[in-house]
Each structure stands twice: as C-alpha cells, then as structure tokens.
A and B are shown apart, each in its own frame.
Chain A
Amino acid sequence: MNVEKTDRFISLIGSAARKKYLIENLPFRVPPRKYGTSDIPFMAETLQ
C-alpha cells in the first residue's frame, strides 16, 4: 500500500543525514563558484 511506502521513505531520509543527502543531490554545484571577471549573467533582453 502506498501509505506504507511513504512512511518508510520518510524514516529513511528524515533521520539519516537527510539534509546532507538532499544538498548533495541537488542538480547544481554547491558551494557554487563566483562569476569570473568576464562573466555576465543571462539577461532577459537577450531573447528580444
């Protein structure tokens, strides 16, 4: 039953270094690197 699956999932990540797991599995690099001197952010006007 799905409810039981959900409970198990919560126990696993809720207490087992959950924050570390979540941050390590983000789809981007953390900690991030600063912009280089020649870097500029993507700006909305580029699309026009």
Chain B
Amino acid sequence: MLNEYKRVVVSSGNLTTGDWAVWSNGLWFQDFPKKQALKTTEKKDTSGFDFNKDFKQTLEHYVQAIMPSKADYKSLLKYDLNDYEYENIDVVLIPSLPGRFRDQEMNKIGLGKINNVLKQFPCQDPNKANKKIVTYQTSSIGQIDEKYLSEFQASVIPAFKSLKEVGAERAKLKKGRSKDEKQTKLLSKPEKADDDTFSVLDHFKLIYPTKSYVFDSYDGVEAAGCLFLKKDYYESGKVSHQILHQFEGSSNYAYNQGVIPHIKVFVVTDDNNEINDDTVIYFGSHNMSPAAWGRYEKDFSQISVMNSELGILIPPMKGNNKII
C-alpha cells in the first residue's frame, strides 16, 4: 500500500517521547497517489493561486534543504517526490529555513511567504482589516516587541497595511520624534490607536500557559520543558503583558484541560470572533518568535531566519461558509 501513495505529515511535535506521550500536539496530513495509479480528478482552483504547484515545489525544496550537506534526498530517502501526483490541495505550505533570503527568495520563507501568499487571496470584506485579531497559541515566546508585532501583523492580516506602509509609518515617527521619546515608546507605551482602528497590541492575543496552569497540570512542572519564556525578557517590558491570554482546555473536550500544550496555531478573525471566508488559520511548528518566522531586514527586502520549521496556512477563500 505504501508504494501506492506518499503521505505528507506536518506536525507541531518533534521526535521525542514527551511530544507523543505527554504534551498536546497537532498533525495535518494528506496522501498523494503515485502518478500511474491516479484516477482522473477534477482540478480545484478558485483563486488563481496554484495550490498544487506551490505545494509540490515547496515540499521538494524543503525536503532537499533539510538533508545533510551535499546529500541528495532521492538517494538518501529512496524516493522521488516527482513520482507522486499533487492534487486537491487547499492549504499552503509555509517553510522556514536558516539563512538570509532576499527579494523573490524572501517570498518563499516564513513571514515573507505568508505576506506574499495573502496578497493573492482577496478578502470578501477588506474594510474590516483594521479590526482583525491575531490569536496565537504558542509554546515558546521569542524576542518579540511592538516593532516586531507590527511587522508580523502586516504580514499575516489579509488586506491590512503593507510592509511598505509599516516602513513609512516608522520613518515618519522617526522624523517627528526626539530620540528620548522613541526610547520611551519602544520600551513601554502601547501605540495610541485612532478611534476607528486598533493599536498594535489590540490586534494581538498571545495564548501561553500561566504558571498556575502548569503547576496544576496532569504531569506537573517537571514536564514543562517544552514551554519557553525567559524571565529577563518577560520582566524587561519589551512586550506588553497586555497581549497575554490564558491557555485553557477547550470545553468541547474535557481531557485537554491540564495537558501541557506544544501545539502552535494562529487564527486571524474579526474582532467579534466570527469565523468566515476571510478567516486565516495557520498550524505547524512555528512558535511566536523571530527565530522561527524570520525578521525583516534592509527595508523589508530581506528576511533573516534561524530555525527550520514547517506549517500550513488556510488563506481567505470564498465559499468556505457553504455546507455541502
């Protein structure tokens, strides 16, 4: 049977005992048949974005990139991804790889890829972009600050401000304020919102377990090695504590309460939490950190990434509310 198809699995878990026996993780998977075994299927392409082609190209590039230096994945893994048919895909693979990526290469990696992909999926209601909320469940919190959050939001909120606009706002701020004022802003005060728009902090809800949740968890504090937030960083005030939200098990499944989470998901919704065609979902291995997602450099023409990560993105798509 395994010779007839290839199963691609994207996981938030690593190959450690804790990931499969203690912590909560998530999987996305899809099977792809061998080319000669393929039945005729109808192509699905509603947006103009070629899901199938992008998936196949990204997968092959990623698999090759994580191989040992100079090793060809086909020789090492004993299969060729070109032997399989990539059809019926409606998610976008989001890879991160260590390195610096410029211009078009930036559009294939981490935040750069999400930013590029979302431009190709028009929102049904673009007027609501200023009041979108990013709700992000993470198991590690990296060196994020308001500057990074604004770049993150510009990349993952569809029809929101562009990176160019973020750069222009920053230049304007730099010009209009003294050095001391800028220091104060970056270290503590949230950006003041206009009446009809949200501040950077208003747009973002970061879900991360409280200390008491971990102490009360099934496996206790000794099993919390997958959670990472440095005390120095938390106390530095570089990111406002206002964005922190509690990890609590879903009421749909009582057994989730008390489990230490290793899953990483973000969801972009309207501020009323309605889930509609414009909702964006990310699932995968990226924690909320510049190391995982990348940090823009050189006036947003380059991105610098530290980690290898992989996730899937479900972009805005017309007709998602329809039940068939």
Interface on A for B, CB 8 Å cutoff?
A: 1-3, 6-7, 10-11, 14-20, 22-35, 39-47
Rounded to whole angstroms, the CA-CA distance of A28 and B229 in the bound complex is 19
* Contact indicator B135/A19 (Cβ below 8 Å): no
Cβ–Cβ < 8 Å partners of A26 in chain B: 137, 250, 263, 265
Interface on B for A, CB 8 Å cutoff?
A: 1, 4-5, 24, 26, 30-31, 33, 37, 39, 41, 88, 90, 133, 135, 137, 141, 205, 207-214, 221-222, 224-225, 227-231, 234, 241-242, 244-253, 256, 259, 261, 263, 265, 267, 273, 275, 279, 281, 314, 319-324
Q: Which of B248, B256, B259 contacts A32 (CB 8 A)?
A: B248
Residue of B nearest to A13 (CB): B90
Residue of A nearest to B207 (CB): A32
* Contact indicator B281/A47 (Cβ below 8 Å): no
Cβ–Cβ < 8 Å partners of B33 in chain A: 3
Residue of A nearest to B39 (CB): A3
* Contact indicator B256/A28 (Cβ below 8 Å): yes
Cβ–Cβ < 8 Å partners of B256 in chain A: 27-28
* Contact indicator A16/B323 (Cβ below 8 Å): yes
* Contact indicator A43/B231 (Cβ below 8 Å): yes
Q: Which of B209, B224, B228, B273 contacts A31 (CB 8 A)?
A: B273
* Contact indicator A25/B252 (Cβ below 8 Å): yes
Q: List 5 A-B contacts (CB under 8 A).
A: A25-B252, A27-B249, A27-B261, A29-B251, A43-B230
* Contact indicator A43/B211 (Cβ below 8 Å): yes
Q: Which of B26, B211, B261, B275 contacts A23 (CB 8 A)?
A: B275
* Contact indicator A15/B137 (Cβ below 8 Å): no
Residue of B nearest to A14 (CB): B90
* Contact indicator B90/A44 (Cβ below 8 Å): no
Rounded to whole angstroms, the CA-CA distance of A32 and B212 in the bound complex is 16
Rounded to whole angstroms, the CA-CA distance of A43 and B213 in the bound complex is 12
Cβ–Cβ < 8 Å partners of B245 in chain A: 32-35
Known: A28-B137, A35-B245, A41-B244. A2 touches B5 (CB 8 A): yes
